[in-house]
Chain A
C-alpha cells in the first residue's frame, strides 16, 4: 500500500520572534515493513541553517535555526510511504507463535538476555508517563494472568480499553495525567496509548509510544476533504522471544497497512513533531493539519 502524507505544524507567536531554534520530526522512520519513497520539508520563514540527525530511538530529527523576524513558523512535511502488508502479517504470525506467558516474560526480563537489552529503556517511567497507581495495575492484571500468553493478554487488554474508554476530544491534552484519563475513562488516541503504556510498564512489561497516521475514510458517497485527518498514536509491547507487537486501542486493532509510522519513543516527548525555543515575550499557539490518502498509482 502506498500513501501520500501531508503534515503541517504551525506555531503562531504573540509577538515578533527574532531568533528561534527548533527541532522538527516529520520525516517518517524507515523500517523493514515501511519504505520512504519520497520526502520533502517546507519551512516558512526560510531557515538560516539546519542539521539532520537520527536519535537513539531511530527517529529522524531536523534542527533548524531561524534568524529573521517572524510571527509564525510553519513546517510542512510531505512524504510518500510504502507499507508491506505481507511482511507485517508474516511478522505477526511468527510473533504470535513465539509469544510466551506473562510469568515467563517477567522471569526472562529479570535476567540478562542479550536480545532483551534494547527493550529495557522502555521499562521505566518517562517524563510524561509515570507508573500507574495500584488501581491501574489491578485493571491491567485482569488481563495478565500468570500463565496467559502475552500476545493474547495484550490483545484483550487493548479490547478492554476500546470498550471501557470513550473517545472524546477536547477533554485532555498531552500533559493530562494518566490517572485522570483512567478516572474519567475518556480521552483521545494519545491518552489511550499513554494509559496502556503506563499500565504495562507498571506490571513489568516494556512498552513503547508509537506516533504516526491512520487513513480515515469519508462517509459513503462523500469526497474526502483535504486536511481532515489527524496525527495518530498507539502503543507497542515487548514480548520476549517474539519482539515488539503493536496495538491500537483507539480502533481496537493490530496496526497493519492502515497505520503509517512516523516515529516511536518512550513517550510523546521523544517524537513530538515540532518543538522550539524562541526569544520573545508572550506565548505561542500551535496548529496542525494532517492529510493521509492512498496514492494514485
Chain B
C-alpha cells in the first residue's frame, strides 16, 4: 500500500474504503492493480489516454464569446468508477421504474391530464414550467409519442444507496462521450487492469439501432440525427453518435416539410424522414409553431407530428419532465400509475407552492438548497447556509412572490472516488449519468455510463460546462448474453459523403469551401506580390516604377472588392506614399468585407461545418491556422518584412490545407462540389485581375512589370517561360491565361473542365441544365476570340476595350453559373 496511503476521504461515504478503512470487495482488484502498476505507469497511461482522446478529436466546446468557441479537449481519468454487478442490477430496476413512470407522466400530461385532475400533481408544477408545450397538448394519445431515451444522474448518498439527482429527458447528452471513454479505457485496461472483467456497452448500441428500425417501420435510412450544428458544445458527440447509429447527421437547413411530412434535402432530391433523433431543444425545433426566432429547427415539424408522419427521440414536450417540482410527488405518482414504491431514493425536496412547505423552507433555509423547478431558464442554485443577510431576504422575497417556481432540497454529502492527478490520488465527488432506452414496453439500461467529477477537491458542483473531468463506469461481471463479435464496438467513422446522398448543407459547404479557399489563396498571393513590389523585393536593376505599383494596388482593390480602397481619390496622396496602411487593413480587418481576414473567417465556418468529412489532420492544421492568424491579425506595428514573412507562412499553410482537402474525400463523393466551387472562384478572380492588369495600354517597361506581376500573382511565371521560351508580351500572356486549353489555370481550361465535371453530378441530364448552358456560352465565346483583334488599340483610348468587354462578359457568365448551380442543387423548394 503506497499509492493509496495518502488517500483520505472526508465524505461520509467513500467508494473504495468503508468506515473501518477496509477496501470494499469490488475495489480490491482495482486497488491492487493500481498499486502493482505504480505511479509511473499510471502517469504513462494518463498520457496515453490524453493522446487517444486528442487523436479522435474528442472535444467539448465552451463558449467564451460567440465569435470564438474554444474546443476544450475532453479528459478522462485512468481509474474507473467500479460498481458490483449485483448492486447494479438493483439500481437498474430503479432506473427502469423511473423511466416507465416518466413515460406515463409524459403521455398523461399531453392527453387526459389525470395527474392534474386527480390532484396527484399540482397544476402549477406543470403550467408554471416553460417545458409544458401547449402546441402538443393532445399528442400524448399518439402511440409513438413516448419517452424513448432517458438519462438519469445518480450519486451515492451517505446511506450507501444510489440516489437520483437529476433527470434529463428532452435531448440527453453524454452517451457519445461514455462510449468514447470506454473505447479509450480499453486501450489502457489491458496493461493496467489485466484480470478484471466488466460488462460491455455494445448490446445497448444494438438496442438503439433496433429502436430506430422499429420507429422507422423497418427502414432505418428514414431516421436522421438533428444537431444544432458545429458550434454546439456537444457537437463532437452528435457526429460521433450518428456514426455509431449509422444515420445521417443533419441541421435544420437540411430538412423541409411538405405534405405534412419531413424531408431530407439531398443532392439527388428529397428523401422522406420519419424519425428524428434530435439534439435541438423542444422550443427550438419549429420556428413556425414554437420559438419563431429559432434558426435551428424546421418550420412545420409540429404539424408533421400532428399528422402522424413523424416520431421523435424524444418528442417535443419532453422538457416538462426536466422539472424538480415533480420530485416531491414521485411517490404518489408511482403509487398512482404502478401501485409500487419508488425503488431509487431521491433527495428530499419541498415544493414551495404549498403554504406549509413554503413556511418550512423559509424557517429552515440555512440547511437547504433552493432551485427553480424550471432549470432551462435559470440554473442558479442558492445554498441557504452561505447567503448573506441581504441575499437571504431577497431570496425569501422571490419565494413569496412566485412560490410555485421554486423547490428546496436537502444538502447531501455524496460519495467520493479516487482520482489521479499530478502524481497522486485524491478523493473527489462524482455523479454518474445513466442511460435508458425504450424496448418493447419496458426500458433497457446501459451497463455503463458517464461519470463526471467535481473540478476541485472540495467542489460540490459537477458540470461539464465548468470543465470537469470524466471517468468510465465499470460494472463488474460477465455479460449475460453472448455478444456477436461483429457487433462489438469499434469506432469506424461513418459520414455520408456519397454524392447521391450527401446532405444539401454539407454539399453547399463543400462548394463554398472551394470558393473561399481559392479566394484566400489568391488574395494572399496578390497581397504578397504587392508588398514585395513595394519593398522592391525582386531587386530589379531599375527601381520599380511607381506607376506599375499603383496598377497592382488598384488590382488588389478590384479583386477583393474593398472599395474605395486604393481608388479613394480624396485620400490618393496619402495612399501612394503609405500604401502599407491600406494593405494592412485589407489583410487584417475582419469586419471589412473582402479583407483577407473576413475571407478566412468565412472559410473557417465552412471548415467547421465539414469537420466530420475532412481528415483529422486538416482540422488540426486549420486550428493552427486560426490560432496563428488570430495572433497575427490582432498584433499592431509589424514591419513590412514581418508582414511579408507571416503571409508567406500562411500561404504555405493554406496550400497544405488544400492538399489535405484533396486527400480527404473522393471526387465521386463530395469533392467534386468543392472542386467546382474552387474553379469558379479561380475564374472570377482571374478575370478581375486580368481586367485591372492586362487591359491598360502601358509603356514597355511598365507593361513588362505589370505582366510579370500578373503571372507571379498566380504563380505562373515559370510555366509561361517554359511554354513560350520568349520574353513577356501581352499577346502571349493573354493567350496563355485565357485561351490555352492545356494550362490548368487558364479560363479555357477551367471552362472545359467544369463542363466535364458537371456531367458527373446527380442531376446531370442528357440535355443541358441551366448552369451548363451558361458555361457552354462561355466556351463558345472563348473559342471565338481572335487575340489580334482584342489587343488592337486606338491612340486616344489607352485601354484595350475589346479585351475588357470580353473579360467582363466571361466574368458575368461565371457568376451566373454559380447562382444557377446553387439554385439547382442547394434549394429544393420546387420539388
Residues of chain A whose beta carbon lies under 8 Å from any beta carbon of chain B: 18-19, 21-23, 48-49, 51, 53, 55-57, 63, 65, 67, 110, 112, 114, 117, 120-121, 123-124, 131, 270, 275-277, 279
Contact = CB atoms under 8 A, between A and B. Distances in A.
Contacts of B258: 48-49, 65, 67
A120 B127 contact: yes
A204 to B, nearest CB: 10
11 contacts: A19-B256, A48-B258, A67-B830, A112-B119, A114-B117, A117-B116, A123-B124, A270-B134, A275-B292, A277-B288, A279-B827
Contact of B830 (A18, A63, A112): A18
B299 interface: yes
Given A21-B288, A21-B300, A49-B260, A123 B128 contact: yes
Contacts of B402: 131
A124 B134 contact: no
B134 A121 contact: yes
Interface string B497-518: 0000000000000000000000
B393 interface: no
Interface centre among B134, B259, B401 (most CB of A within 10 A): B134
A21 B252 CA distance: 15
A260 to B, nearest CB: 24
B261 to A, nearest CB: 11
B829 interface: yes
Given A21-B300, A277-B288, A55 B134 contact: yes
B355 A19 contact: no
Contacts of B137: 55-56
Main secondary structure of the interface of B (DSSP, over half): loop
Given A49-B259, A56-B134, A279-B827, 11 more contacts: A18-B830, A19-B829, A21-B257, A49-B260, A51-B260, A51-B303, A63-B288, A117-B116, A121-B134, A275-B292, A277-B287
Contacts of A279: 827, 829
Given A19-B256, A51-B303, A117 B288 contact: no
Nearest to A121: B127
Given A55-B134, A56-B137, A18 B306 contact: no
Contacts of A63: 288, 300, 303
A120 B138 CA distance: 18
A93 B355 CA distance: 34
B299 A21 contact: yes
B48 interface: no
B289 interface: yes
A218 to B, nearest CB: 37
A18 B402 CA distance: 46
B135 interface: yes
A117 B829 contact: no
Contacts of A56: 134-135, 137-138
A131 B289 CA distance: 24
Interface of B: 116-117, 119, 122-124, 127-128, 134-135, 137-138, 256-260, 287-289, 292, 299-300, 303, 306-307, 355, 401-402, 827, 829-830
Nearest to A23: B288
Contacts of A23: 288-289
A19 B255 CA distance: 13
A105 B676 CA distance: 71
A290 B128 CA distance: 35
Contacts of B122: 112
A53 B257 CA distance: 17
A110 B134 contact: no
A270 B259 CA distance: 25
B127 A124 contact: yes
A123 B306 CA distance: 27
A270 B289 CA distance: 10
Interface centre among B257, B287, B288 (most CB of A within 10 A): B288
Contacts of B288: 21-23, 63, 275-277
B333 to A, nearest CB: 15
A51 B124 CA distance: 32
Contacts of A114: 117, 119
Nearest to B829: A19
Nearest to B405: A124
Contact of B123 (A21, A57, A117, A131): A117
A222 to B, nearest CB: 41
Given A67-B258, A121-B127, A18 B287 contact: no
B829 A65 contact: no
A51 B829 contact: no
A22 B307 CA distance: 16
A276 B128 CA distance: 27
Contacts of A120: 123-124, 127
B109 to A, nearest CB: 12
Nearest to A57: B134
A53 B260 CA distance: 13
Contact of B128 (A51, A110, A124): A124
A18 B287 CA distance: 17
A87 B267 CA distance: 61
A18 B117 contact: no
Nearest to A65: B258
B135 A65 contact: no
A123 B127 contact: yes
Contacts of B134: 55-57, 121, 270
A130 B402 CA distance: 12
A22 to B, nearest CB: 8
Given A65-B300, A120-B123, A123-B127, A277 B292 contact: yes
A48 B259 CA distance: 9
Nearest to B354: A110
A53 B137 CA distance: 12
B117 A53 contact: no
Contacts of A124: 124, 127-128
Contacts of A110: 355
A114 B122 CA distance: 11
A139 B254 CA distance: 51
